[in-house]
Structure 1
């Protein structure tokens, strides 16, 4: 049991083990590592470290100047706050919540000032000229890059892996530590510069980083309990998302060993438990499919495949 209420001993003395259940009344710790970076004149990218599994966190609340602006599931540790005012200072905090509704203290304040708006700015920054990277452990890597230039100002650097943005750093930063990686994996990272009008540079030079193996590779990355139900003109897929440390909103579907589509769940629709997706099919009855899927991981890679299911389409 993660926490025990102070009244548990008295409850046990009066009612016995069958007559009482320990209530969870202890709040989780405040999230660590909060940062806020201006992505443009009207957006700020807020990030923090994921809670430990033992903390029992089920979600996060993001505050701007003490006012709640976002509620996120436990798997999501970054968000873009939009609709802000150019050349304005903002203060952000985050607190965690557990399944019993206990709220952590708020984090120390992260402050940021949005740059001036450049409504006519259509010129992207130059790409960072150099990029370097090295693994710092089985699940982390350190990246560094050279400064980009822009006709106005560079406001952010975005790190990409597999075509997916996985991290945002501030304009004055020339490096960062990436976490949530998989052991014994080769990654290819690139960096793009961004300005206040949200113009992004081309990719800087790619850098390959190989994480070392680790004992106990951590949670599996394959979707579990994958099932496919056939009905006339349709196939309904269901599965349990892998435990990636963040919400999993993108899956790649293979049919007969070929990638056929990418299933994406929009904001607010990401499945927290059992996931479901319905396919409309036009192939003739009797067509045999072998279907499987894999999830996009927080590091930008695709995870391991689910079990494969063979189905026969019906009219």
Structure 2
């Protein structure tokens, strides 16, 4: 776990929901009659390069809740991802090869539901000594589609061989991929009343990546006061160790449809530090301690917020008052 302000890559659960490009939203099936998780819907597979395929699906609601999704290539399980993640890049594949993928959900009791529909993807041929990236995609256009989605379209890139796929970014985070023959998609899982910046990059079969095309800035309609995205059950205390005082924070991560890997901690109205998880980010209960000085009796006002899977900051938690050397306020 690295505690600094550097963003880490997040596999986000933001996907396409347009019939033209397939479906991979945050809503999906429920339980079947037997109580098992339902089969994932909206499963799509798109070759990202000559050795990788991008697989996406809709979330499944279940009771007990879904714990993981299992991704199969043929009859072999090749990936297992947490319930908050609804897309994955399957790598180390063979060029010029047809693959069939399925996805199934497994609940917290270890019971697996039926697989979703079989989807096929063909990896393009490998190109020897190809170090030329595609040109940047043409002008990106977009428009909101309600408060939680935007539609994007762009002009095709050129490549000395062929464009294999397009990667869609929100800010600096890759959130989606589409095939090289597609120049439109819908990004879902967004927040109402929020400003977003999107770019698109082209990728060829040799994994050469183009520069980003022009950015489009969009604001989703509606309003969001942030209360639904704030960490809850936030508590703050202090302890003394090695002649110094530390603040000890505990909270429940917000339920955002994806794994939260970065938090920002505010002391007395100013950002004091960032906490970034490079792996194994907590989902049910989180904690963090950090140094605040050697003096007793110092009062701090502390709160915390999360960077959401759509790349924006959520709402702040309630503010707690802590006095070094005293019990939690």
Smaller-chain TM-score bracket: 0.7 to 0.9
Q: How many Å apart are 1:157 and its aligned residue?
A: 1.3
Question: Where do residues 272-311 of structure 1 align in structure 2 (5 Å cutoff)?
Answer: 272-279=283-290, 281=291, 283-286=293-296, 288-311=299-322
Whether the 8 Å CA contact 1:184–1:212 is kept in 2: the answer is: yes
Report the Cα distance in structure 1 between the residues aligned to 2:273 and 2:109, rounded to whole angstroms: 39
* Per-residue CA distance 1:269-304 (angstroms, 9 max, x = gap): 12121012333x274434554332222222221111
**The residue matched to 2:229 in structure 1 has which SS?**
coil
Q: Residues 98-113 of structure 1: matches in 2 within 5 Å? A: 98-113=107-122
Instruction: Tell me the equivalent position of 2:138.
Output: 129
- What per-residue deviation string (whole Å, max 9, x for no partner) do you get for residues 89-127 of structure 1? 222110112334432221111221223345644333222
Mapping of residues 123-272 of structure 1, within 5 Å: 123-213=132-222, 220-231=228-239, 232=241, 233=244, 234-267=246-279, 269-272=280-283
Structure with the larger RCO, 1 or 2 (CA within 8 Å, 6+ apart): 2
Quick check: 1:159–1:165 contact (8 Å CA) kept in 2?
yes
Q: Structure 2 unaligned segments of length 5 or more: list them.
A: 1-29
1:17-40 CA-partner distances (Å, limit 9, x unpaired): xxxxxxxx4222211111122223
1:50-97 deviations in whole A, cap 9, x for unaligned? Answer: 224778433311111121122222211111222222332222110112
User: Cα distance 1:3–1:149, how it changes in 2: closer, same or farther (>3 A)?
Assistant: closer
1:150 and 1:96, CA in 2 relative to 1: closer, same or farther beyond 3 A?
same
**Structure 2 CA distance for partners of 1:124 and 1:100, relative to 1, 3 Å:** same
Q: Distance in 1 between matches of 2:209 and 2:249?
A: 37
Match of residue 86 from structure 1? 95
CA contact (8 A) 2:231 2:304 kept: yes
CA root-mean-square deviation: 2.8
Q: Is contact 1:219–1:244 with CA below 8 Å preserved after alignment?
A: no
> Residue 170 of structure 2 contacts residue 198 of structure 2 at CA under 8 Å; is this kept in 1?
yes
Q: SS of the counterpart of 1:220?
A: helix
Residues 123 and 26 from structure 1, CA distance in 2 versus in 1: closer, same or farther, beyond 3 angstroms?
Answer: same
Residues 255 and 56 (structure 1), Cα distance of their counterparts in 2 relative to 1, 3 Å cut: same
Bigger-Rg structure (1/2): 1
- TM-score (norm: length of structure 2): 0.78
Q: CA deviation at 1:229?
A: 3.4
Distance 1:210 1:257, change over 3 A: same
For the 8 Å contact 2:35–2:63, the answer to whether it is kept is no
